[in-house]
Amino acid sequence: MDRHIKLTANIHYVGVNDRRTELFENLWPLPEGISYNAYLIRDRKNVLIDTVEISKTDALIREIRSVLGDRPLDYLVVNHTEPDHSGALGALLKEWPGLCIVGNKVTFRFLDGFYGEWKHKKIIEHGDTLDTGRHRLRFFSTPMIHWPETMMTFEEHEGILFSGDAFGGFKTLDASIFDDEVDLQAFDNEMRRYYTNIVGKYGKNVQRAFALLKPLPVKMIASTHGPVFRSDPEWVLSRYDRWSREETGPGVTVIFGSMYGHTEAMAEHLARALRAYGVPDVKVFDASKTHSSYILSAVWECRGVVLASPAYNNDLFPSVKNVVDKFLERKMHKRCAAVIGTATWSGGGVKQLIKRVGELGWETVGDPVEAKYSADESDLDACKRLAKAMAEKVLSG
Ligand code: FEO
């Protein structure tokens, strides 16, 4: 058995799994880890496509050495400069001092800023090519997926698209790197969570890239995180297409914050009523318990959102505020929202939610319900009416 993992006879996977890091970008939980994918093209000129996070440098160099032996590494293509893919750069240059770095003008602005200037570099423009012997690489500028310098590299003879972060996802590659050998369904939620939180703000740029890549005879998609799609690239393309258009289904996400259970009781009541009125997909999240990245990921595919907050210092409950701020940061659109909550000696939660829904440009469904202290029968009836209005709205499309 060849111990190397190959995409084709001369294109090797030299990436790594990271099962130790708790938070990606020191923000996003990684309960199932993540992979940093890098690829090595063995040819007359040897080319590495992207590197790995700095803590995994030794593993990367070992793997490249085991493929190349004493032969030089000639080029490094930097599709994306974020340090989870450029962190090994300094060590690679010590190992192969003649290594020429390939990127666009913005790539080098960022690399120079992070690491200092480079002796050997090749500045490419959109559409340029690099011949390495039996392979030819064509470079496509795809800015803001999800940084300004991001680009993709297409290997023309094998039809492999090295796509950078696009088409990637959280979760390690267990036992295999290929879509037909890993448990792809296990990647579905983690890919959507990755997309919505890392790339989601830039859906228009993803759509622009789709138009750009459409004429290419892509046979394989090799991203910097997650599986290599060699059997069914359409699996990931169709998802990214849907997510980048923010296509929503007839579901409702109920998001609540609650100190002592009063707002939670209203949210539970409304959620059950939604199901009773025929909404097929109702998800309920305690914003203080579930990390916002999971909530955002759920909302991405739902037409309806119910926001529930008590008053806290005359304002929104902090954990609900955190989630709503994420919606605003990503300029999420095409949702309808209902607002409920509680007040004690003062209000503030419901008032602020109404304001935020307006700022988001979301359609308000029904009349907001604000219970004093805790919901009585008339408040619960009002929640039920709200559920009916929301169900009619999301089921009508
Ligand atoms: Fe995987 Fe934008 O870094």
In tens, the pLDDT along 242-254 reads 999 999 999 999 9
Please report the atom of ligand 1 found closest to the CA of residue 150: 2
d(C-alpha 260, C-alpha 310), whole Å: 10
Ligand 1 contact, 37 CB (< 6 A): no
Ligand 1 contact, 85 CB (< 6 A): yes
pLDDT of amino acid 334: 83
Ligand 1 contact, 264 CB (< 6 A): no
Q: Which residue has the tokens 């930097």?
A: 78
Q: How far is the CA of 25 from the centre of ligand 1 (A)?
A: 9
pLDDT of amino acid 128: 98
Ligand 1 contact, 224 CB (< 6 A): yes
Please report the atom of ligand 1 found closest to the CA of residue 198: 2
Atom 1 of ligand 1, nearest CA residue: 165
Helix 203-213, helix 233-244: angle, nearest 10: 140
pLDDT of amino acid 113: 95
pLDDT of amino acid 212: 93
d(C-alpha 319, C-alpha 256), whole Å: 9
Please report the atom of ligand 1 found closest to the CA of residue 147: 2
Atom 3 of ligand 1, nearest CA residue: 82
Output the pTM of the full model: 0.95
Ligand 1 contact, 42 CB (< 6 A): no
Q: How far is the CA of 38 from the centre of ligand 1 (A)?
A: 12
d(C-alpha 288, C-alpha 230), whole Å: 40
d(C-alpha 144, C-alpha 87), whole Å: 20
Ligand 1 contact, 82 CB (< 6 A): yes
pLDDT of amino acid 131: 98
55, exposed or middle or buried, with CB in 10 Å at 0-12, 13-18, 19+?
middle
Atom 2 of ligand 1, nearest CA residue: 82
Ligand 1 contact, 351 CB (< 6 A): no
Q: How far is the CA of 53 from the centre of ligand 1 (A)?
A: 10
Q: Which two tokens stand for residue 260?
A: 């002592």
Ligand 1 contact, 84 CB (< 6 A): yes
What is the b/e burial string over 228-251, where b = at least 16 CB atoms within 10 angstroms of the residue's CB? bbbeebebbbebbebbbebebebb
Sorted by where each starts, the structural domains of the chain and their CATH numbers stand as 5-244 (3.60.15.10), 252-396 (3.40.50.360)
Ligand 1 contact, 18 CB (< 6 A): no
Dihedral angle, C-alpha 177, 178, 181, 184, nearest 10 °: 90
Q: How far is the CA of 313 from the centre of ligand 1 (A)?
A: 37
Q: How far is the CA of 297 from the centre of ligand 1 (A)?
A: 18
Ligand 1 contact, 190 CB (< 6 A): no
Q: State CA 307 to chain mean position distance.
A: 23
pLDDT of amino acid 397: 82
Ligand 1 contact, 80 CB (< 6 A): yes
Tens place of pLDDT for every residue, the chain, 397 residues? 778 999 999 999 999 999 999 999 999 999 999 999 999 999 999 999 999 999 999 999 999 999 999 999 999 999 999 999 999 999 999 999 999 999 999 999 999 999 998 889 999 999 999 999 999 999 999 999 999 999 999 999 999 999 999 999 999 999 999 999 999 999 999 999 999 999 999 999 999 999 999 999 999 999 999 999 999 999 999 999 999 999 999 999 999 999 999 999 999 999 999 999 999 999 999 999 999 999 999 999 999 999 999 999 999 999 999 999 999 999 898 899 999 999 999 999 999 999 999 999 999 999 999 999 999 999 999 999 999 999 999 999 8
Q: Which amino acid, 351?
A: K
